[in-house]
Amino acid sequence: MFILISGVILLFSSCSGIRLLNSSASSSTSAESQASPEIRIYSEQPVFPILHGTAGRISDNSISLHAPHLSDLSYSPDGCPADSGRLRLLEALLRSQGAPSDLVALPWVESSYYVGDYSRVGAAGPWQFMSGTARHFRMNMTDEIDERYSWTASTRTASNYLLYLNRMFDDWHLALAAYNCGEGVVQRALSNSERKEYGMIELPGETDAFVPRYSAALQAVRQREREEPKLSVVIVPPGLDLRLLAAESGIDPDELAENNRGFLREVTPIGQRNWEIVVPSDKAAIAFQAAWSISRDRYTVKNGDSWVSVGEATGIPANDLMEVNSSSMPPPGGVLLLPESGRIPVNSNAAVSAGFFQYTVRSGDSLGGIGALVGVSSREVALWNDMTTASTIYPGQKLLLRGTPPEGSDSVTILRATSEITHTVQAGDSMWALAEEYGVSVEQIMELNNKDSAALSIGENLIIKPE
């Protein structure tokens, strides 16, 4: 069966798959009317527009339970923090990557399905990715997007990582253990044991508890009643303001934002790629159509619009809309500019909410000495900052510490002169050489010039000593 929606053909096949093809009649070279690229989508019945899966890649091999009765935490069907719609979405994403849908229980153990979760060691999102691991798997982390907080990107990446671990150990319980403590730890434990199976090797205490917790959570998820799919994934273009999409597709703007917290400014980043967003299933078709047909950065006024109605549709206070536009509503067909999103990004103050504070490294500091300030080891400091105990630290570097900030930890003693002393950076200059030349600390130069790192640019004018 063929359906044509704004130049996009949806092909429904007997295997419940969907394939989106550009209609030749809708081809255009302009960025604004750019059509969606060819996309292969796999779905169950009812339709789930989940990308990249094909019938041949679907894997639903169940994962055996390992001593769920030994879990030190309680998991019950009624106590699951994710609703059925969220679980169905994650199951479909997992299957689309070729991973068992049973892995849907893992975020319950990792984050209680809280997309904004940020652990004491800096792991983020529902699947708890450290920043270094996320970069290794090429997840986007910029001031516009952090894919650790994206339901789609983080689930796909977790699927790929867990499939890799399962291929390595040929055992899902060992793969899950490695997801928790690292593949190197599990490999060393296996090499030191005659029995090469989970439960018979020496692992850290937290990891020993991890797999029984997962098994208990999985057992509870399996007992939940299955409901109709409520969430879907659609492809949208770069540079699209999600508040506009909410208004044009009739989706509650708060709901759309909550389902897509990885977009830190409520706008899909501009670039050479398209993006996945999560939308209510009953709005998926209209959201897809709107995403590729509307203006991506400004609202087109319609008959009957008012500041209040547009504000409610976009989730933007009417006064904020009036402030960035003229005081009178344009006629139908006119456009309104949107202010920057006022929604607090999901990663904002994540470290602070977890009890962390920022420490500026000083000359002579070591990880051990820094850790002693808050009563922890160098290893703990390294874990908090996604480094190893052998990593080099330098004056001016910002580190996260957890605990009570030591008195005066952020204060810098400023040496002054009778008149202001400045220096224009030349080839070969370094922060440390300049500090030694002028008899000041690196911290002073960074403080006076509001610098977060010791990097210098040729021609940069630095204040060395204030008057």
Q: Which residues are part of the catalytic machinery?
A: 110
Residue in the block written with tokens 């996320």: 134
Q: Output b/e per residue, 9-36; b: 16+ Cβ within 10 A.
A: ebeeeeeebbebbbeeebeeeeeeebbb
User: Residue 255 corresponds to which amino acid?
Assistant: E
Q: How many degrees, rounded to 5, is the angle at CA 82 between CA 79 and CA 84?
A: 105
Report residue 162 as tokens.
């867990």
Contact 180, 214 (CB under 8 A): no
> What is the DSSP code (8-state) at residue 464?
E
Contact 41, 51 (CB under 8 A): yes
Q: For residues 327 and 323, what is the distance between their CA atoms, to the nearest angstrom?
A: 8
Give residues with Cβ within 8 angstroms of 184, minimum separation 6: none
CA distances to 116, 132, 133, 143, 335 from 398, in Å: 23, 16, 20, 18, 44
> What is the DSSP code (8-state) at residue 146?
B
Q: For residues 314 and 384, what is the distance between their CA atoms, to the nearest angstrom?
A: 38
* Residues of the chain by 3-state class (helix, strand, coil), percent to 5: 35, 15, 50
Give residues with Cβ within 8 angstroms of 382, minimum separation 6: 367, 388, 389, 391
